[in-house]
Structure 1
């Protein structure tokens, strides 16, 4: 499959490497031009290209850039075929992304992304830390395999995204339509807590939209205020406590 990745940061580069390793042809782009992505692409077994080319030539496009940068991509998506699967890995954090126009009127963050791109999206890989994505993928059936939720309105697109999540070393959980994608957004217990398939399903059920904003902002305030003092394991531990998923909680993190 021809896969395009727009965004060559930690998530995008890791996805490029993992998907290339499973036999997919991968194009990758950043905002500065292909000549600045060649080293990253070569290390990942991918090919550097301009963003427009990546979108135009791919059957699946993974958008892995900061939330507030997504509107800049709209022109690249105006002429792509309806069959192209577009996967959104982004998350909204007010301290970083401000107050994007139209977001307050959108049902979920990924509905807003769909509107900005003019193309339906599937939400995946947004709920895992870059470090966990890089180092914790395991073969299917492994006892300690982490699970990731995938949501989207088109069943075929959602299934394609789930297959790719599995290919990167994680159990894919069908999280339903895009209306339900808020359950995997920051501030909810399925977000960046490295849970098993059974526990992710429980976490999605326990998602609480009323408290999510407060918990999202609490996590962001603590982590981003002193990022250099937090390891990924510190962030996972903090998130589990904020989401009431402490190790002594027998229902989750078992």
Structure 2
């Protein structure tokens, strides 16, 4: 699959940063926010000139890949039929300050990405861009081969989709550590040793390889989260 057009649902800090990276990498970018287009048009024109502010439906229809960069508590505001057949990056995380009580947002028995995939059943979900802070995403993207290049974790159930997204992440300025299980997205959620991590590939891979030994990993194994 060739990616030329990037759509971003969410015009907050993460969405704006990813739009900037995508434009720099040579992609065309459409981005939507909550409410009317006029509400975000000036912000987009000022902060990411070259990106097109539009409505959700237009963003999705005119994109090869769609990034969910909205508060996790709002993903069900999107009609699942809209993303049918689309390759979708889940860049969301639960965060109490914006999402409220966790139990009201998420089923505690599965990861957030599994629940996102279940909701958007007609789409293919891949998890990435969610464990590194937006400042780091913006400031630490580097060309391939740069010794200071950082890495992002990429995971999902569909092997081809994960490989496609990993190549996309690489083009955006980051190395990748790849898994093929959407449930492994738990490794990047708040409370995990990866959340907030801005690490080189070997460092990131080491933490992932030893994840089960961490306190967070032990709690997951014991189903205490």
TM-score bucket (shorter structure): 0.7 to 0.9
* Greater Cα offset, 166-175 or 114-123: 114-123
User: Where does residue 123 of structure 1 map in the other structure?
Assistant: 127
User: Where does residue 223 of structure 2 map in the other structure?
Assistant: none
The structure 2 residue matched to 1:142, chosen from 146, 159, 173, is 146
Measured after TM superposition, the shift of residue 104 of structure 1 is: 2.1
The structure 2 residue matched to 1:155, chosen from 156, 159, 178, is 159
**CA 214–54 in structure 1, closer or farther in 2 if over 3 Å, else same:** farther
What is the TM-score of this pair, normalised by structure 1? 0.76
Contact 2:128 2:152 in 1 (8 A): yes
Measured after TM superposition, the shift of residue 156 of structure 1 is: 1.8
Whether 1:21 and 2:24 are equivalent positions in the alignment is: yes
Provide the C-alpha distance between the structure 1 equivalents of 2:15 and 2:211, rounded to a whole number of angstroms: 27
Runs of 4+ in 1 over 6 A off after TM superposition: none
Q: Which runs of 5+ in 1 are unaligned?
A: 216-254
Provide the C-alpha distance between the structure 2 equivalents of 1:81 and 1:21, rounded to a whole number of angstroms: 28
Provide the C-alpha distance between the structure 2 equivalents of 1:210 and 1:146, rounded to a whole number of angstroms: 22
Measured after TM superposition, the shift of residue 38 of structure 1 is: 1.4
Q: Which runs of 5+ in 2 are unaligned?
A: 220-225
SS in 2 for 1:121: strand
What is the TM-score of this pair, normalised by structure 2? 0.85
SS in 2 for 1:37: helix
Provide the C-alpha distance between the structure 1 equivalents of 2:18 and 2:97, rounded to a whole number of angstroms: 26
User: Where does residue 183 of structure 2 map in the other structure?
Assistant: 179
Contact 1:187 1:212 in 2 (8 A): yes
User: Where does residue 49 of structure 1 map in the other structure?
Assistant: 54
CA deviation vs aligned residue, 1:202-240 (integer Å, no higher than 9, x gap): 11122249832999xxxxxxxxxxxxxxxxxxxxxxxxx
